[in-house]
């Protein structure tokens, strides 16, 4: 069984935030496989389903971002699984918006949800990095510090709607490859799809 985790903050006030793109991806995957009921369990909203020949368990932690690992650890302990069985969808400000990258292990890039996961389950889970880009000043300079926090904790702009919907749809279309452990094939298919969007 694979555990698919979307990172985000719970509550309607956070629903459209850039930091919640992980929730958006998991919700789209759930809808695509016919999941309509989410249960409160493991400090999360959870659902079960089948993708291809793989049983999957969908998780949206309800602990706020910086405690996401607590919820995922409970899932792994209950099912006697390891970090290698976990696939996490999350926002990444260090990737250009509309870019998707996959890696297993690695650093957190300052992402509080990933920091929590690393602390609670180790680093050997698969990360699906959904690029939202960094904010820039009117002079084109990259901003840091509080401005970054304000950026990720604010809603996507209307201009983001097209690329946002398309990369989430590409993730959903190709998620069966992640469930089968074919991360490279997933990456290649999504990259091709993104390039097709640009042409």
Which of the residues 17, 19, 90, 111 is marked catalytic? 19
CA dist., res. 4 & res. 174, Å (int): 13
CA dist., res. 194 & res. 159, Å (int): 17
Q: What are phi and psi of 198, to 5 degrees?
A: -80, -20
Pairing, β 54-61 against β 2-6: parallel
Mark whether 19 is an active-site residue.
yes
3's enclosing H/E stretch is strand 2-6
CA dist., res. 167 & res. 91, Å (int): 12
CA dist., res. 104 & res. 69, Å (int): 16
Per-residue burial over 75-108, b if 16 or more Cβ lie within 10 Å, else e, is bbeeeebebebbbbbbbbbebebbbbebeeeeeb
Written as six digits, the tokens of 172 are: 């959903």
Q: What are phi and psi of 22, to 5 degrees?
A: -65, -45
Active site residues per annotation:
19
């Amino acid at each position: 069984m694979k555990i698919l985790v979307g990172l985000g903050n719970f509550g309607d006030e956070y629903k459209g935030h850039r930091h919640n793109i992980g929730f958006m991806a998991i919700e789209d995957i759930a809808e695509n496989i016919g999941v309509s009921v989410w249960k409160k369990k493991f400090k999360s909203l959870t659902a079960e389903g089948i993708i291809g020949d793989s049983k999957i368990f969908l998780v949206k932690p309800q602990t706020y971002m910086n405690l996401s690992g607590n919820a995922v650890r409970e899932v792994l302990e209950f099912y006697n699984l390891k970090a290698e069985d976990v696939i996490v969808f999350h926002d990444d400000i260090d990737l250009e918006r509309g870019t998707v990258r996959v890696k297993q292990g690695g650093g957190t890039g300052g992402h509080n949800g990933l920091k929590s996961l690393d602390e609670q389950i180790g680093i050997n889970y698969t990360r699906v990095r959904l690029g939202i880009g960094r904010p820039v000043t009117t002079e084109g300079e990259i901003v840091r510090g509080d401005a970054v926090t304000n950026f990720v904790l604010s809603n996507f702009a209307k201009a983001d709607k097209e690329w946002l919907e398309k990369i989430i749809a590409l993730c959903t279309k190709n998620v069966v490859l992640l469930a089968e452990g074919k991360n490279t094939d997933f990456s290649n298919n999504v990259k091709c799809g993104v390039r097709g969007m640009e042409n």
